[in-house]
Every structure is written in structure tokens, then in C-alpha cells.
Amino acid sequence: MDKNFLIIENISKSFGENKVLENINLNISKSEFFGLLGSSGSGKTTLLRILGGFEKPDTGRVILDGVDITNLEPFDRPLNYMFQSYALFPHLNVFNNLAFGIKEHYTQKEIEINVKNIAELLSIEKLLNRRIKQLSGGEQQRVALGRCLIKKPKLLLLDEPLAALDKKLRSKTQLELTTLQKKLKITFVFVTHDQEEAMSLSDRMAIMKNGLILECSSPEEIYENPKSLYTANFIGIANIIEIYKKDANFYSDDLGINFKLNKELKNTKTNILLRPEKIKIQSINNLKKSSFNSFYGEIIEKSYLGSFTRYEIKVNNKIISVLDQNFNSNSNYNFPKGEKVICSWESESIKILED
Amino acid sequence: MKNKSFEKYFVFTPYFWLVLFFLIPLAIIFKISISVSEWGMPPYQDIFLFDNGIKINTTFENYIYIFSDYYYIGSFVNSLILALISTFFCLFIGFPLAFYIATSNIRLRNILLVLVVIPFWSSFLLRVYAWKIILQNNGILNVILLNLGITSEPLQLLYNQYAVIMGIVYTYLPLMILPLYGYLNKFDLNLIEASKDLGLNRFKTFFKVILPLSVPGIIAGSLLVFIPVVGEFIIPEMLGGSDRLYYGKILWEEFFVNRNWPGASALAFSGIIILVLPIVIFQILYSRWSQKNEI
């Protein structure tokens, strides 16, 4: 596998005074499904548009499959871009939208075969004579995808590919998109603001903030071991607790308890992350709290979410979120509001945040 | 609830407008056009005569007269050609301008739109007269050309059909730009990027995406220029020579110089029918077609 299929090198971009991207470096492998995740204004769409050739970077280079494409026009790049709005041509039917990019290079017969194949792949063969306005959102998304894939691009760029779909269709399309990508082995780079979408689609993903890449890794790695406070908060639910060295142990003023870590700490003071599903919640009457990694708290909020229940537990003045799985043998899953409970966790569940 | 019944009448306002200011005047013109002309005030006879019962006093002689004389048909054809050429140049110049305005940022866009509309704030007659001053033999343009040594003697820039076309294009350009702008303003720029992304260069993108999607705006702007230019009288009169006669000028002369009201009315009525009928038919066909194709 070519680890340096797409190289993004020192890319910077400003719009007037506004610095949108600062020294971005990324290496993306061949056939990788790569996500750029960030809130609005993070620069993720600008980076994607630079890859597509719609914006020119102020500095840096983009190298695709060994070729420097930084100064190529969009129509000279061996890649395609799927727009968030899909940008389908309203004056053409589905067939001609699909055939738009190959009309110049193929004969009529070849065009028909190619369109038929791509329509079968995306199961839209019954829609070929329809007008774009007669299509549902999901169908439009398929046509937009097909219009790109028919060109057999080396790289497909997708701007918020699922944002325009309703929730139910989104999870179905998510699965189809990953299956399709694995089948075709085309490199996909997509942009999203939705962390769930990024986690479920990406092989690897980059978290962007204010024109910088904070972290770049697999979704599991980013969720379990985030490096920064921002990432920890951005992905999933996070309990962030400040601890400092006190005697042999670590102590949190907020919770008023001791922490035991299984790692050495460089600083004397740091933020730690405790994911809500790592915390065990137990009834107070049959147990006594351990001297570390455990606290007494009171349930102040509870939301039953079907497969699990989310509790907000108050300890001193801090509120800690806990997710508890609702399996039948778990006699704990029905804590009422106001109940006093013991919360505890393993040392390895504590993740130290670097900044 | 009261408003509902009011709204019902409100809907008829455009029809009321159309009847009052288009159909009734048109009917009057038609009435005069089939009257018998005479010397007097008004210079035509009534169409109903009331001696010994009612006698209808009409004639189609005026129509036969104008259609049998090449003088009238030829001038109308001249005007159609002039309108066609002027509309083409307005479109040729106006489309890129409108597109540029529609795609520029909001501040620049407003400045440019004001610049397009500014000429309307001064008198039309003065603006045409200004061109006369610029183009005349000792006008600014000739002085510059002479001083630069491009020509040795003043060029005859005025009183020919080129001056007429230039004057018309200058005057009617805003009427082309504004409807085009209104249409292009809603243009989804992603479509242009999508076309380029799919491998079409700027030139092909223009012909495959931008132009087909601008057809309604082009039609609106072209009609807005074409129809009034056919009847245009002042610009050919001021900037044109005597070598070519135009419909508007003939009409004016027939009315005010020859005082042949029935003949002039026949000419005006024929012109309206010849112009409006194909346009109405075209509009009906086009709206059916675009409904079918859901553009």
C-alpha cells in the first residue's frame, strides 16, 4: 500500500487578513477513507477545495500519485469533487448528468455502457430518464456520486457527503459508502462537522481547529487516547478533571478524591479524561468506597436512551456524566433521580491530556 | 376576512392595467386605421355615419396602401435588422457584464449595479445628443485620432448606420444587463465548479452549463431590447443618415408631417401585430416546453 499516495505539504491559505489554513501537512495512503473533522471555520472545506483545485494555496504543494498538482486547473486533475449541494445540472436528465464528464472522450456506445454500469453499481438504473427535480435527496446523492465515479478518479473528494440526508437514510448511506469505497479501492477524502459520521466512515481522520490539524489518527485512537483537551471534548462525551500531585498520589480539588494512575506524569498538574462508559455506577448500601478512583455522588439528571442510560452525577460542585449499559442482569440500571451512588473506575481508564 | 375579498380584486390589477393602457389604445389605433382620411381636424372621417340611418364608413385602403409600397415594408425590415443587430451586441456586451456583476462580492456588486442604472438619471435626449458631440467631425474622438496621427483628416463617424447601432447599444444596454443580472444572480456557482471538476474547460463550461441555464434571462433581456428598438425613432433621427429609413421615423413622418392619421395608424397597428404575435406564440410554446422539462 502506497503510504504517500496523496501528500499535502506545508499548505497555508489566507483570505485577506483571515488565516484559514496554517502549514498543513498530511500523508494519505492509497485506498484510504480519510475524514477531515472540524467545526465551521476550522478550514476543512478550504483544504478540500484546495485539493479540488478551486482555491490556490498561498504556500505549499499537493502531490497526488507522485505528480505535483498544486497549479493544475480543476479540469486537469485526475480527481473528482462531490459537492455538499450535489451541484447536479438541472437542465440535464440523470443519464446526461452521469455522462457529463465522459462525453468528450468516449463514443456513444461506450458512454451508454459506462452509464449503465455505474447506474447498476448505485442501483439507479430506473432513474436514468428522470429530471433532477424529480429525484429525492438520497437519489440525488447517488447521481452526484455516480457522476464522479464514472470518471474513475484516483481520488474522490466529498464535501459533507451525508449532511443533506435525513437521519435514517444517513446511517444506511454511511454503510453503503464504506462498502462502495472498499469495493472500488478509490481513495476518499471527506469533510464533515459531524463526529459520528467521521468516526463511522473514516479509516483515519484529522481533527481541525482554526486552520490547524490537532490530531490525525484512527477513530478508535482519537476517541480512546485523545492528546488535546479540544479533541477530547469534540469527540464523544468527556469528563475532564484537573488533578495535581499530592504526596504519593494525585488529588482532584473538584471531586475531593485521590486518583491512582498507572503511568508516570511529567507535570505536577494536568487535565485527565474519563469517558462516561468507563465509570462503574453502584448502589451505596452494599459497598464502601475505595480510597482512590472512586467517589460518592448524587444522581441529579437521568435520561433513558434505550440501550443505555445516561446519568449526570453531582459530586461536590462538579457534574460527572456516566453511561450505564442496560443489560438485564444489571440490577443497577434503574437508579432514580436523587439516589446516592458510588462511582468507580480502573486506573487504565484515566487518560492524560497533553494540553 | 375583509382582506380576502380585497385580494380577489387585487389580482385583476395587471389585467386592468393591460386593458386601460394597451388594449383600449390599440383599439383606438385600429379604429383610426380603418377610417377614411380627409383634410380637417381630426384628419379622418367617423366610421359611423348617421344620415338616413346608420351607415358604416370604413376602408382597408390604408392597409393595402402600406403593404403594396416597398417604402413602408422596406423601412420595417430595416428596423427589424437594426433591432436584431443591436440586440446581438447588447447580449454580447451585456452577458459578460451581468455575469461579472452577479458573481462579484456584495459591495462591488452594488456599486456596479448603480453604475449600470446611473445613465437613466439623465435625460435620454441629452445622452444621445452627447454622442452627437463626441462623434462629430470636430468632436473629441476625431480630435484625439488626429492628434495621435492615426488619421490625417476627420473621419465621418456620424450620420451612418454604425453610429445608430452604437447609440442604440449604448442606450439599451442596461435593459439587457438588468434582467440578465436578475437571472444570473440566482445561478448556483457550484455548477460551474462541478463542470470544471468533471473535465470541461472554461469555454466548454460556458456553452454546456452557463449558457443553457441562462436561456430564460437571455430571452427576457433580448425582448426588452428588441421590441422598443424596432420602433426607435430618436436615435436614428439624431445619429443616422438619410441613407436608411427606419420604421419609427416613417411612422412619425406619416403622423406629423403628412398628417395621414389613418395611414400611420395602419402602419402602427400592423407593426404591433407583426411583432407581438410571434412573440406571444413563442412565449406560450416556450413556457409549455420549459414546464415539460422543468427548467
CATH number of residue B209's parent domain: 1.10.3720.10
Quick check: is B17 in a domain? no
Quick check: is A26 in a domain? yes
Domain boundary among the residues A211, A233, A255 is at: A233
> SS in 3 state form for A301-325?
EEEECCCEEEEEEEECCEEEEEEEE
Same structural domain, A217 and A328:
no
Residue in A54, A75, A89 nearest the CB of B199: A75
Same structural domain, A33 and A171:
yes
pTM for the model stands at 0.81
- Whole-angstrom Cα distance, residue A314 to residue B50? 106
Quick check: is B18 in a domain? no
Same structural domain, A304 and A317:
yes
**pLDDT given for residue A337 in this prediction:** 87
Question: What contacts B19, CB < 8 A, 6 or more positions away?
Answer: none
Quick check: is B129 in a domain? yes
Instruction: Report whether pLDDT(B2) > 70.
Output: no
Same structural domain, A243 and A229:
no
Residues of B with a Cβ under 8 Å from any A Cβ are 188, 190-191, 193-201, 204, 208-209, 212-213, 293-295
- Whole-angstrom Cα distance, residue A129 to residue A142? 15
Bridge pairing between strands A18-28 and A351-353: unpaired
Q: Nearest residue of A to residue B193 by CA position?
A: A54
Same structural domain, A165 and A254:
no
Q: Give the ipTM of the model, two decimals please.
A: 0.84
CA distance A81 to chain B (A): 7
Quick check: is B21 in a domain? no
CB contact under 8 A, B293 and A75: no
Residue in B194, B199, B213 nearest the CB of A83: B194
Domain that holds residue B183: 70-293
Q: What is the mean pLDDT of residues B217-235?
A: 91
pLDDT band at B61 (very low <50, low <70, confident <90, very high): confident
Same structural domain, A189 and A89:
yes
Task: List the alpha helices (DSSP H) in chain A.
Answer: 44-52, 94-99, 108-121, 137-149, 167-184, 195-201, 219-224, 229-234
Q: Nearest residue of B to residue A132 by CA position?
A: B294
CA distance A74 to chain B (A): 5
Q: For residue A341, give the CATH number of its domain.
A: 2.40.50.140
Quick check: is A78 in a domain? yes
Weakly modelled stretches of chain A, pLDDT under 50: none
CA distance A101 to chain B (A): 5
Quick check: is A51 in a domain? yes
Among the listed residues A74, A117, A80, the one whose alpha carbon sits nearest the alpha carbon of residue A95: A117
Q: For residue A166, give the CATH number of its domain.
A: 3.40.50.300
Same structural domain, A193 and A300:
no
CA distance B291 to chain A (A): 12
Same structural domain, A198 and A129:
yes
- Whole-angstrom Cα distance, residue A222 to residue A215? 8
Q: What is the mean pLDDT of residues B78-103?
A: 95
Domain boundary among the residues A166, A200, A233 is at: A233
Instruction: Report whether pLDDT(B223) > 60.
Output: yes
Quick check: is B47 in a domain? no
Q: What is the mean pLDDT of residues B133-143?
A: 87
Q: Looking at beta carbons, which residues of chain A come within 8 Å of B210? A: none
Quick check: is B194 in a domain? yes
Q: Looking at beta carbons, which residues of chain A come within 8 Å of B196? A: 53, 73-75
- How many domains, in total, are found in chain B? 1
pLDDT band at B3 (very low <50, low <70, confident <90, very high): low
**pLDDT given for residue B93 in this prediction:** 96
Q: What sign does the CA torsion over A279, A283, A287, A290 have?
A: positive
Same structural domain, A278 and A329:
yes
Quick check: is B229 in a domain? yes
- Whole-angstrom Cα distance, residue A26 to residue A3? 11
Same structural domain, A295 and A227:
no
- How many domains, in total, are found in chain A? 2
CA distance A269 to chain B (A): 50
Domain that holds residue A251: 238-353
**pLDDT given for residue B11 in this prediction:** 76
A16 touches chain B (CB under 8 A): no
Quick check: is B274 in a domain? yes
Question: What contacts A13, CB < 8 A, 6 or more positions away?
Answer: A19, A20, A21, A43, A46, A50, A55, A57, A58, A211
Domain boundary among the residues A178, A201, A233 is at: A233
Same structural domain, A85 and A217:
yes
Quick check: is A1 in a domain? no
CB contact under 8 A, A81 and B194: yes
A134 touches chain B (CB under 8 A): yes
